[in-house]
Amino acid sequence: MAEGGARLDEPEGFPKQGSVSSHQTLCENASIETSSVMNWLGYGPEIRQARIDAYREICRLMTALCRGAITLIITGSKAEGLSRLYESDMDIMVVMNRVICLEDGVNANNFPSEMTMLRSYSLMSYAGHCRLLLERRGTMVDTIVDDSFCDDGYGRELLSSDIFVNNLSKIKHGAHVVQHDRAGPSIPTSLRGVHHNDMVCALRYYCPNILSKWAARPRHWPPAEVVQHVVSLGAFLTPVGFKGSEYQHVEWRVCFNAGEIEIVNNLNTTQINLYVLLKMVKNDVLNPRKKEVSSYTLKNIVLWIAENNPQSLFHERSLLHWLLEGLNALRVALVTRELPYYMIPDRNLMAASGLEEEQRCTWISTISEMLNEGPRMILRLPKIRQGIVAHPEPFRWYNGKRIEFEMLLLMGLMRAFLMDENLVPDQSDVTMLAIKRRSDEIAAVVYLRMIFEGSRDINMQDVWNGMLM
């Protein structure tokens, strides 16, 4: 199948429906081939771990430079090791360390006096959202927080999520940084027109009742030690209310970014590949215009599937079986307009998706067609189809070079943050020089092969960008 669902002839050697092979054998063979292609495309465990380690170290070094005022957490596909350097925006959560938000029943006296204490108030708010009442102003109050309070109508100070984001958007950035219009709770920026970031400021939320309820669920996965680690990482509140709520401008949303990164990083290779393939379906087949179905929606489907099934069932031969299960779960979510949030099941992720009826019906029809096609539906995904029909040698050669190139740049990115007190990278760093030399060699070899094979109007910068997209 081509983009948009147009039918294509299947590549030679790909299992065909109605052949001697049983449906199960067909599905297993196609799963093994798809898994191999995904490994070459850069979703294998080694490159994923290199990305995870690099962004984790960058967060640690950037947080250290802030001297305790904030903690930076890179989230999303970068933290999960699932996107190349320029492939998608970098999602950054900036946690303000001088403020703590408390669930009902938690004693504020257990926290230092310099911290500002806010108490969550969830009455008449949608599940997974709350309002924040000032309980105690700390001795060290951030101006952005202090200027974001409003009166709740009863003489109490309420922290407005809307005012909070507007105050953040007034912060001046350095040279070469362009700030774009706010997008919900995030402030998008671009650095030199290449590096695109989505920054969200968040507050720590101490909510033992919510987390203990999640931890107590019967499950096949994740294992108990991972569950306890996720609980220890706690929760956060981001400045965004429930769409259409009367209190939207003062509501905050409960999220578990650090814990969810840990959960995703404990998925096995087949489960990760399932997640990536579902995202390819979203981007290349469904093409949502306004995030009516987001990567976050698909992540939650994968987490529910992983939790509710024995881990022994997730292996290389079963990948397309689980892809069909994931697509069916998405179809059910679209039909019923319901998908429970993995961490707080009372929150319905489809409740405020903004999905129009015509679009919903079209997607349900498209997904139904894909389910009827069985494992052959994988040929609708351009990246996978290209990997299956391409000549194996150039496909593997190029992707091998691209993976090595990216790993070198990730190493360089980590070392670039090892700066002196003036934030100037060490230009005499022998390792950095070696990284640059080898990355230049790879780019040159790829450039020459592209010229030899007939590419025109390309330059070295095109090669660099192309290998990181």
CA distance between the termini of the chain: 24
The DSSP element (H or E) to which 435 belongs, if any, is helix 430-452
In this prediction, residue 242 carries a pLDDT of 94
Task: Assess whether 334 and 249 both reside in one domain.
Answer: no
CATH number, position 272:
1.10.1410.40
Query: What letter does residue 84 receive in the DSSP assignment?
Result: -
Task: Assess whether 87 and 168 both reside in one domain.
Answer: yes
Q: How far apart are CA 63 and CA 55, in angstroms?
A: 12
Task: Assess whether 247 and 100 both reside in one domain.
Answer: yes
In this prediction, residue 424 carries a pLDDT of 57
Task: Report the Cα 279 to chain-centroid distance in Å.
Answer: 11
Report helix, strand or coil for 150: strand
Specify if 14 maps to a domain.
yes
Owner of token pair 């090791």: 81
CB 252 within 8 Å of CB 238: yes
Locate all alpha helices (DSSP H) within 234-294, ordered by sequence.
257-264, 269-281
Specify if 92 maps to a domain.
yes
Residue 433: domain span: 391-467
Give 170-216 as a DSSP string. Answer: TPPP-TTEEE---BTTEEEEEETTTEEEEEEEEEEEE-HHHHHHHHT
In this prediction, residue 298 carries a pLDDT of 98
In this prediction, residue 5 carries a pLDDT of 40
Q: How far apart are CA 439 and CA 408, in angstroms?
A: 7
Which of 187, 221, 255 represents a domain boundary (last residue)?
255
**Residue 241 burial by Cβ neighbours in a 10 Å radius (0-12, 13-18, 19+):** buried
Task: Assess whether 235 and 272 both reside in one domain.
Answer: no
Which of 229, 255, 281 represents a domain boundary (last residue)?
255
- The two structure tokens encoding residue 468: 């990181």
In this prediction, residue 18 carries a pLDDT of 52
Task: Assess whether 100 and 175 both reside in one domain.
Answer: yes
CB 127 within 8 Å of CB 231: no
In this prediction, residue 116 carries a pLDDT of 95
Task: Assess whether 300 and 239 both reside in one domain.
Answer: no
Q: Maximum CA pair distance of the chain?
A: 76
Owner of token pair 């054998």: 25
Task: Assess whether 344 and 418 both reside in one domain.
Answer: no
Query: What letter does residue 286 receive in the DSSP assignment?
Result: I
Residue type, 379: L
Specify if 416 maps to a domain.
yes
Which of 343, 367, 386 represents a domain boundary (last residue)?
386
Task: Assess whether 382 and 440 both reside in one domain.
Answer: no
- Over residues 402-429, the pLDDT tens digits come to 999 999 988 888 777 665 544 455 667 7
Number of domains in the chain: 3
Q: How far apart are CA 219 and CA 158, in angstroms?
A: 38
Residue type, 7: R
Specify if 93 maps to a domain.
yes
Task: Assess whether 298 and 375 both reside in one domain.
Answer: yes
Q: How far apart are CA 288 and CA 364, in angstroms?
A: 13
In order along the chain (469 residues), what is the average pLDDT of each group of 10 residues? 41 49 82 94 92 91 87 95 88 95 88 92 90 93 93 94 93 80 85 81 96 97 98 97 92 97 97 98 92 94 98 97 97 96 97 89 97 93 86 83 90 72 63 90 90 81 82
CB atoms within 10 A of CB 421: 6
- Over residues 169-190, the pLDDT tens digits come to 888 877 778 888 888 888 888 8
- The two structure tokens encoding residue 331: 């179809």
Q: Which residues contact 227 (CB under 8 A, 6 or more apart)?
A: 215, 219
- The two structure tokens encoding residue 293: 């179905």
- Output phi, psi for 319, to 5 deg: -55, -50
Specify if 65 maps to a domain.
no
Task: Assess whether 110 and 192 both reside in one domain.
Answer: yes
Task: Assess whether 312 and 181 both reside in one domain.
Answer: no
Whether the link from the prior residue into 222 is cis, omega within 30° of 0, is yes
CB 373 within 8 Å of CB 1: yes
Specify if 57 maps to a domain.
no
- The answer to whether the Cα torsion of 452, 455, 458, 463 is positive or negative is negative
Task: Assess whether 197 and 161 both reside in one domain.
Answer: yes
Owner of token pair 């997730």: 314
| β-strand pairing of 195-206 with 177-179 | unpaired
Specify if 457 maps to a domain.
yes
Specify if 54 maps to a domain.
no
